[in-house]
Structure 1
Amino acid sequence: MRHPVLTIGIVLLLGASTLYPLSKIGSEFMPQLEEGDLLYMPTTDPSISVLKSKELLQQTDKVMKQFPDVTSVHGKIGRADTATDPAPLSMIETVVQLNPNRSEWRTRKVDRFFSGWPSWLKWPMTATFLPEDRNITMDELKYGWTDPDGTRHQGLNQAVTFPGVANAWPYPIENRINMLSTGIKTPIGIKIMGPDLDKLSDLAQKAGTAVGMIRGTLSSYAERSMGGVYLDFDVDRDAAARYGLTTGDVQDVIQSAVGGMNITTTVEGLERYPVNLRYARELRDDLPALERILVATPGGAQIPLGQLLIEKDGQRIRITPGPPMIRSENGQLTAWVFVDIDTSQRDIGGYVAEAKKVVADQVGIPAGYSVVWSGRFEYMQKANERLMIVIPITLVLIVLLLYMANRSWFRVIVILLAVPFSLIGAFWFMYALDYNLSLATAVGIIALLGIDAETGQVMLLYLDTTYDRYKEKGLLRSKDELFHAIYEGAVKRIRPKTMTVATDMIGLLPLLWAT
């Protein structure tokens, strides 16, 4: 009250200073919650064989099990007999169970400002709050770390990096939710939609290459819309009819000989296993051998399969490329790009903003095609849309409640003038702790505004009470007496206000370090 102009100037300067942390704070949907285990989900080329995919699964499981922080590794490959899990052979899922006792994880050296001091001098700090050794974090387990002396320790990702394989390391529960809602298993996904699969595959390849050069990208893999390999058997209906055969009869023979047919089921206790019968490998590993497959006719004759097929370009059985799996969304064909990023280096919102510019400049989406950014970024977009509605409604409700309590717009404005300045510490604190703006922080800011309005209302109530008491006693005859009335109403109520705010802060403080 002695220096009102200086006080207001300092407050305005502090308020303007929040522009700096706001320009540095990133954005995301929600902070990641460490679930204790990892899900390793590599993606390979769709033309990978069953034997090669099995070999890759066994190799990666063996390599990851050698890490001392890993308790067990359980891999899965192939598709379950259900339409809700269309997982091709190119998608491997491995649950990596970690040691639940983090204190038993490997340790790493930490470079402190006192590291070069003598042992006896730095002992008070190393023995208390600033040890020179600490257990590695989840990110360091996944991606490795470098000691202060330059020694590089590889993580899980480097150990299982193979040519043509794109790795992703989501958490198990989080991944299941993401796969069910968006289908994307990485933090960011690019969905390119259009009418032509060949063009979609080309655009996805270009987009994957473009975003792969952005800082913070761990892997970018364009799912192959094309790349499958098929054997085409075009049945000659007239030739089959001459032998009393239908197209279905010929196709049954092809299925049994090449793909195999379940002929019975073996029962072993509670377990059931189908018995599949097909030709030996040497009889079906080349096209001429397939043309010699015998098809039984109703008359008992055995006809070579080649005589029942239409010849095109000198071939009766042809190897034809095609889509390994056709995806569609919103009535359009689509190709996906899986992008895994290092969230310790880049926030999702800032990364996608840069990636959009890169894709627009280097890829060039033609007319009739569109790009949708999915994954956790899609959650963030939807959350922001809802917050644009929720936050204004919240502010309106706060104003209405304050007016109902005070019956004066002037008093409401006095209370609300202090609300923006409470955000100064919030934004600087988020910047200091390297937090991103998210749905969780937005809810916290809304709660902070409510607490600020509450304490402002309490302060105004105390000032009114003290003013009325001084007025009744006739003690407001000079400016000094008014000063003493304001002083008593404000300063002497600092303790209850501090206790109210401290109770809220102490109750929420553990959330700052919760993992």
Structure 2
Amino acid sequence: MPPLNEQTYIYMPVTPYGIGINMAKELTQKTDKILKENFPEVATVFGKAGRADTATDPAPLSMIETIITFKPQSEWRDGMTYEKLLNEMESTLQIKGLTNSWTYPIRGRIDMLLSGIRTPLGIKLYGDTSEELALYAQKIEQRLKAYGGTQSVFADKANSGYYLNIDLDDAKIAEYGINKNLILDTISNGFGGMTVATLYEGVKRYPISVRYEQDKRADLTSIGKIRIKTPYGYAPLATFAKLYYKEAPSILKAEKGKKVIFIYITPTQGTTSQAYKKEGAKLLADLKLPTGYYFEWAGESEYLESAMERLLFIVPITLFITFILIYLGLKSLKNALIVFFTLPFATVGGILYLDMLNFNFSIAVVVGFLSLIGVATETAIVMIIYLEEAVGALTKRTKENVKQAIFEGAVLRVRPKLMTVFAILGGLIPIMYIDGVGSEVMQRIAAPMIGGVVSSAVLTLIIIPAVYYISVRKE
């Protein structure tokens, strides 16, 4: 479907994995402030870093989501449009450490639910090791950045997680006569906290937890000095364990029995996912991946391919049913064939009008054409009926008599046909000038019909009588 302008943007920058909550909060507030102070069109800004308190939103701290709502367009700066506003925001929000992406709230949620990709387009890279996946994802990212149709592209930095490892020394633990659980419980309670009481405030309840102060868990040295109780007194944690930091994958994703890493892509305004995929495939054609590694496109292109596969069955079935209905209405195979095989001319006007508006092919456009075929079929059938009645009323059939009868039958259809054309145009043309939510889809459905009913008038009033005359003359 064409892009649906929800009149609300969602700004979704990402940071490297491993960012702290304080830094995530600072970046969220910074971007919120920039949006509020630099764009008078913005009504409200609401930013969120990390996940909500729900299992259905497993977002890391590195993922920031900011919902931007706008004032009525009558209060905007002169000449400002949604496209210009998005471009200005993108150029203003070039903050070190953030990689920007933009979408709409509803569309973004649907994309994430269906494919896991939160941008309009993406690539899923499959492989066996996290290290090689990160390496080749970076190569794909760099190649796509060179394409002019790319607004933003970034790969998951899945290998940039930092962990504190505590490797216990079994010999030392046995030497002091203690068990591992004592050390693990001390670490767990000291770092994560232990609930010791509950505060009741009316119907509300708040757990009260205690843990070590910040300075006692700030670095390896402080952590190593944490005291562990033993039968021989207290001993530092460093006695029983080796403490060190290690870089490792911060998030693990798997699909189809393989590890996977996502590359998120936001095409520029006016670049369709299909066109981007075509150009992107050329840029990645000579990228050699190790055995067992491969990538596939996801997001809008995935939906379009699925929809096109369905249309390969739906369109022929629709045309077949249309032909059967034409035959049942006319009770003549000859007349049914005349109507059916002249119908493509009705689509000429729709195609030309789409080209004038620079509308891309989409499912909504297909729906418009199918509706157009229905209207053109109806008027063509009525024209054939008028012509049959005019020719049937002749007492003597000569070339001139038949020609005159067909002319009179066609003339009788001028006024009804023009009334049909103007009624359809009067109902559909206003759609082309609205800009509310959903107008993009409605315009793609209306455009083929607006252009098509004009060429359909030519089909009904000129082509159908001419073809019918040729068929009658042969008889």
Same fold (TM over 0.5): yes
Structure 1 residues 513 and 256: CA distance shift in structure 2, 3 A:
farther
**1:139 CA drift (Å):** 1.2
Residues 1:59 and 2:30 aligned together: yes
Distance 1:197 1:166 in 2: 21
Residue of structure 2 aligned with 1:433, choices 357, 371, 393? 357
Residue of structure 2 aligned with 1:245, choices 178, 182, 206? 178
Structure 1 residue matching 2:61: 3-state secondary structure: coil
- 2:449 matched to which residue of 1? none
Residue of structure 1 aligned with 2:246, choices 320, 334, 341? 320
Partner AA of 1:240 in structure 2: I
- 1:492 matched to which residue of 2? 412
Residue of structure 2 aligned with 1:141, choices 70, 85, 99? 85
- What does 1:125-274 correspond to in 2, within 5 Å? 136-143=80-87, 155-268=88-201, 273-274=206-207
Structure 2 residue matching 1:326: 3-state secondary structure: coil
C-alpha contact (below 8 Å) 1:44/1:90 kept by paired residues: yes
The list of structure 1 runs, each at least 4 consecutive aligned residues, that deviate by more than 6 angstroms after superposition, is: none
Residues 1:302 and 2:302 aligned together: no
Structure 1 residues 423 and 292: CA distance shift in structure 2, 3 A:
same
Structure 1 residues 485 and 300: CA distance shift in structure 2, 3 A:
farther
**1:270 CA drift (Å):** 6.0
C-alpha contact (below 8 Å) 2:176/2:232 kept by paired residues: no
**1:464 CA drift (Å):** 0.4
- 1:293 matched to which residue of 2? 226
**1:243 CA drift (Å):** 3.9
- 1:512 matched to which residue of 2? 432
- Select between 396-405 and 440-449 the one with higher mean Cα deviation: 396-405
Structure 1 residues 261 and 166: CA distance shift in structure 2, 3 A:
farther
- 2:326 matched to which residue of 1? 402
Distance 1:455 1:300 in 2: 101
Q: Residues 333-384 of structure 1: CA distance to partner in whole angstroms, max 9, x if unpaired? A: 110011111132x1221111110121222x3233212212112222212111
Structure 1 residue matching 2:68: 3-state secondary structure: strand
Q: Residues 283-331 of structure 1: CA distance to partner in whole angstroms, max 9, x if unpaired? A: 222212211111224x48322111221xxxxxx1111111111111222
- 2:2 matched to which residue of 1? 31
Q: Residues 440-477 of structure 1: CA distance to partner in whole angstroms, max 9, x if unpaired? A: 111111111222222211111111011111x2xx253x
Partner AA of 1:294 in structure 2: R
Distance 1:303 1:167 in 2: 49
In structure 1, runs of 5+ residues without a counterpart are 1-29, 109-135, 144-154, 310-315
**1:276 CA drift (Å):** 4.5
Structure 2 residue matching 1:233: 3-state secondary structure: strand
- 2:280 matched to which residue of 1? 355
Work out the percentage of aligned pairs sharing the same amino acid. Answer: 37
Structure 1 residues 72 and 267: CA distance shift in structure 2, 3 A:
farther
Partner AA of 2:409 in structure 1: G
Distance 1:270 1:280 in 2: 30
- 1:97 matched to which residue of 2? 69
- Select between 366-375 and 190-199 the one with higher mean Cα deviation: 366-375
Structure 2 residue matching 1:234: 3-state secondary structure: strand
Distance 2:369 2:232 in 1: 83
**1:102 CA drift (Å):** 0.8
Q: Residues 151-176 of structure 1: CA distance to partner in whole angstroms, max 9, x if unpaired? A: xxxx1112211123111121111111
Structure 1 residue matching 2:401: 3-state secondary structure: helix
C-alpha contact (below 8 Å) 1:223/1:336 kept by paired residues: yes
**1:500 CA drift (Å):** 2.8
C-alpha contact (below 8 Å) 2:387/2:406 kept by paired residues: yes
- Select between 283-292 and 207-216 the one with higher mean Cα deviation: 283-292
Partner AA of 1:36 in structure 2: Q
Q: Residues 454-506 of structure 1: CA distance to partner in whole angstroms, max 9, x if unpaired? A: 2211111111011111x2xx253x32221110101112202212323443443
Distance 1:266 1:499 in 2: 76
Partner AA of 2:235 in structure 1: I
C-alpha contact (below 8 Å) 1:37/1:172 kept by paired residues: yes
**1:262 CA drift (Å):** 4.6
C-alpha contact (below 8 Å) 1:43/1:165 kept by paired residues: yes
Structure 1 residues 324 and 276: CA distance shift in structure 2, 3 A:
farther
C-alpha contact (below 8 Å) 1:200/1:225 kept by paired residues: no
**1:255 CA drift (Å):** 2.4
C-alpha contact (below 8 Å) 1:76/1:93 kept by paired residues: yes
Structure 1 residue matching 2:391: 3-state secondary structure: helix
- Select between 275-284 and 391-400 the one with higher mean Cα deviation: 275-284
In structure 2, runs of 5+ residues without a counterpart are 440-475
**1:510 CA drift (Å):** 3.9
- 1:16 matched to which residue of 2? none
Structure 1 residues 436 and 76: CA distance shift in structure 2, 3 A:
same
**1:271 CA drift (Å):** 5.5
Output the aligned Cα RMSD.
2.0
Partner AA of 2:249 in structure 1: P
Structure 1 residues 337 and 383: CA distance shift in structure 2, 3 A:
same
Structure 2 residue matching 1:231: 3-state secondary structure: strand
Structure 1 residues 107 and 272: CA distance shift in structure 2, 3 A:
farther
Residue of structure 2 aligned with 1:366, choices 282, 287, 290? 290
Distance 1:264 1:339 in 2: 48
Distance 2:236 2:205 in 1: 36
**1:268 CA drift (Å):** 4.8
**1:259 CA drift (Å):** 4.0
Distance 2:339 2:227 in 1: 91
**Number of aligned positions between the proteins:** 434
Structure 1 residues 62 and 246: CA distance shift in structure 2, 3 A:
same
Residue of structure 2 aligned with 1:422, choices 342, 346, 355? 346
**1:244 CA drift (Å):** 4.5
Partner AA of 1:446 in structure 2: L
Structure 1 residues 261 and 36: CA distance shift in structure 2, 3 A:
farther
Residue of structure 2 aligned with 1:335, choices 261, 270, 273? 261
Distance 1:493 1:380 in 2: 41
Distance 2:178 2:409 in 1: 102
